[in-house]
Amino acid sequence: MVGEFVAVFAHPKLTADVYGKAVSRYFNAGIQVPIVIFADPTGREIAGTRLDDGTAPVKSTYLEHARKALESFRGGLPVEKARERWADFGKAVRLRSEAKDSAAGIEILRRIRDGAAAKSAMRESVQEYLDRIEKDEAAGLLEVGTADLRGEDPKMGLDTLFGILRDFPGLPSAAKAKELVEKAGADSKTAADHAAAEKEHRAWISLREGDRLARDGKAKEAAEAFARTVKEFPGTPAAEEAAARKP
């Protein structure tokens, strides 16, 4: 329960009747809550599923709303596929929150979005989640990187912009960062800074490849990737980290 709301989070293997019983329990127990909503794992309210103390006790109403929640949750996919997609969503969130691999998390989120049916709630929910990442994280970094590039520290600006390319693939800020990076590479005033920043960018990508292999349990391949990072990008921070990695 949050404030004046009770959120019922959908799960694809449960039935509408089970949801209906869960919702009615709040009201039958005499708990005074003006509104009950159904939400998907992103926390997004599922449209058309709000219930108040006038409608929730009516079984046909709460069953109808529960069915809507289930249909939305499944995103036009079979039950097992929907469950797999939301499990992947959890994996993406963990990858980003634990700062292991932001790009991998976003790539997973984009695959979930693109695999859901057009105009389905699953697709819209994941897109809204990506939009929040764009607004709350990527856009701010883009503003800082752009200011540094055009100001007194173009190398720092380019480092930030390349970081956006690495960490926010497919988001609007990454597309804009790519344009700025390419222009800086073609500008004689920033070409040297661009070359240095690009080298570090490629080094970080190489290190990330090793990390992904290690995360997948491919210790031998990961060790080779770390060794390659050290050899091909000497003197970079990524090479120093790669040298200390033990897959």
Mind spelling out the 3-state secondary structure of 173-220? HHHHHHHHHHHHHHCCCCHHHHHHHHHHHHHHHHHHHHHHHHHCCCHH
- 82 touches 75 (CB < 8 A): yes
Q: Do 170 and 233 fall into the same domain? A: no
Which domain-ending residue is among 74, 90, 117? 74
Q: What is the DSSP string of 132-183?
A: HHIIIIIHHHHHHHHHHHHTT-HHHHHHHHHHHHHHSTTSHHHHHHHHHHHH
- For the chain, give the percent of residues with pLDDT over 90: 57
Instruction: Determine the length of the chain.
Output: 247
The answer to whether residues 96 and 129 belong to one domain is yes
Instruction: Work out the burial of residue 230: count CB atoms within 10 Å of its CB; fewer than 13 is exposed, 13-18 middle, 19 or more buried.
Output: buried
Same domain, 161 and 101: yes
* Residues 160 and 86 both lie in one domain: yes
Which domain-ending residue is among 147, 162, 187?
187
Rounded-to-integer distance, Cα 77 and Cα 72, Å: 10
Residue 86 and residue 53 share a domain: no
Residues 6+ apart with CB under 8 A from 74: 12, 82, 122
Give the 3-state secondary structure of residue 7: strand
Asked if the model's pLDDT at residue 171 lies above 60, the reply is yes
**Per-residue pLDDT tens digits for 180-189:** 999 999 999 9
Half-sphere exposure of 197 (CA within 13 A, CB side): 27
Residue 173 sits in the same domain as residue 217: no
Mean pLDDT confidence for 168-192: 97
The predicted pLDDT at position 53 comes to: 56
Residues 84 and 158 in one domain: yes
- Token digits for 97? 């929150």
The answer on 169 and 100 residing in a single domain is yes
Does residue 119 share a domain with residue 95? yes
The answer to whether residues 210 and 164 belong to one domain is: no
Domain of residue 134: give its range. 77-187
E strands present in 52-160: none
Same domain, 101 and 147: yes
Predicted local distance difference test score (pLDDT) of residue 5: 41
What are the pLDDT digits (tens) for 42-96? 777 777 666 665 555 555 565 676 677 777 777 788 888 888 998 999 999 999 9
Confidence of residue 13 (pLDDT cuts 50, 70, 90): very low
Among 187, 211, 228, identify where a domain stops: 187
| Cβ atoms within 10 Å, residue 245 | 17
Residues 43 and 94 in one domain: no
Looking at the structure of the chain, the number of domains it has is: 3
Q: Distance from CA of residue 172 to its chain's centroid?
A: 14
What are the beta bridge partners of residue 38? 8
The Cα–Cα gap between 127 and 113 comes to: 6
- Would the pTM of this model clear 0.85, i.e. be above it? no
